[in-house]
Structure 1
């Protein structure tokens, strides 16, 4: 029939398209995580701040290409200096989250990193209460108990536990939750709301500006070392280019999956993605795991699922 959308819900082509998006989302998310771990821990590229700056540079360039040239989404403009300051604040927190997460990967296995990252709902609930004084139903807070308890158990049973790496991962998780809460508060008015792709378009260049002096100060010889390493092994250049591009596609596929599925589906897929990342990382890096550690991670994931279910029913 004329005028019929080939991607209407329920059509086989629509289902295949959505499955393809989910597959791309999983691949990019798990791929960038594992490649970060390989570069920072196994390959010997010990520069998490510079690596994050590479990610943000790629996000800046590719976001502009996707929005200004390819018209994936309409371009939204910054309408005031106040809105710019709000976006800059979110960018600083975003930087702190990504840098802390990359630093933690130098010291922790991906499996334990993902277990800690699963506690994001706990930090989101805490920050939401502190900043908005908005109380959730008591049952919502009860479901956060296994979320935290699971990580405590996993920490006690983690053979590769590293205190500094653990603290960095906690900081990354807390910063990620803080950004989420602040984004809802700061960009809540209709005139200031930006979709995730446009927000990334403006946040990424600000992040590069913030990360450049941090890189020069804390990793002063990174360019010279990287050039020397590239002369010895040119693969490092391709690793960085691919890894940085993949970091952008994490954001792109997350936006597209959100657009083409429901919020509940996204939560379920997100929980499963963490479990898949854990299994793949253990098979790939062969890091030691314990029964207690896996039990703790399972309890955390169970708590996150309960939390999502209670939140859905309370709406």
Structure 2
């Protein structure tokens, strides 16, 4: 039984990484190579697929218990998380039209930097100095990569940085809202809100 549980967990993690990489490469192919000009439509397809698959996982497969929204406050908090996540995916898809996937992923490596900044600004939580020190080479590497990127596009770069910042903001908001008293119900909605983070 324990082995089955471990295999199931490994399968879920593998499926998450595979779908993440697959969607990223497919979006890049459609937006750049194929010339598809509607990144927001791709985001709508992404969100629809996440919602449907989450509903199947919750309602039919019973992976987590179905729960209802109990108050207007919970509804607004879920909506805020959804909106920030949607913005990060839209900006990420737009950036893929102008930047190579490799550079896009390099910029995405700055997510911990933005997360630390937002965590400090929103919760006044300070990390250990060693944490901040480890972020310096990551940010420096992205700056160096930006200067040497042959297909650098300023608009694409701004969209990519904005997507990365939105992803970090979502992480901080998620931590705040999930730890709020009486808001444990958020976890069942996690697949819908946070698939393909």
Regarding TM over 0.5, the answer is yes
CA contact 1:116–1:170 (8 Å) conserved in 2: yes
| Greater C-alpha radius of gyration | 1
Contact 2:178 2:186 in 1 (8 A): no
1:108 aligns with 2:99: yes
Q: 2:140 aligns with which of 135, 140, 149?
A: 149
Which residue of 2 is the match for residue 38 of structure 1? Answer: 29
**Counterpart contact for 1:101–1:169, Cα < 8 Å:** yes
Instruction: Mark the runs of 5 or more structure 1 residues left unpaired by the alignment.
Output: 205-247, 252-315
Q: 1:25 Cα shift?
A: 2.8
Greater shift in the superposed pair: 163-172 or 181-190:
181-190
Match of 2:180 in 1: 189
- State yes or no: 1:81 paired with 2:67: no
Q: 5 Å matches for 1:1-315?
A: 5=1, 7-8=2-3, 17-194=8-185, 196-201=187-192, 203=193, 250=196
CA apart distance, 1:26: 2.7
Question: For residues 124 and 24 of structure 1, what CA distance do their matches in structure 2 show?
Answer: 25
CA shift, 1:60, in A, is 1.8
Q: CA RMSD in A?
A: 2.0
Runs (4+) of structure 1 exceeding 3 A deviation are 13-23, 194-197
* Aligned position for 1:293: none
Structure 2: gaps of 5 or more residues: none
Structure 1 residues 183-233: Cα deviation after superposition (integer angstroms, max 9, x where no partner): 2113322421245542344x59xxxxxxxxxxxxxxxxxxxxxxxxxxxxx
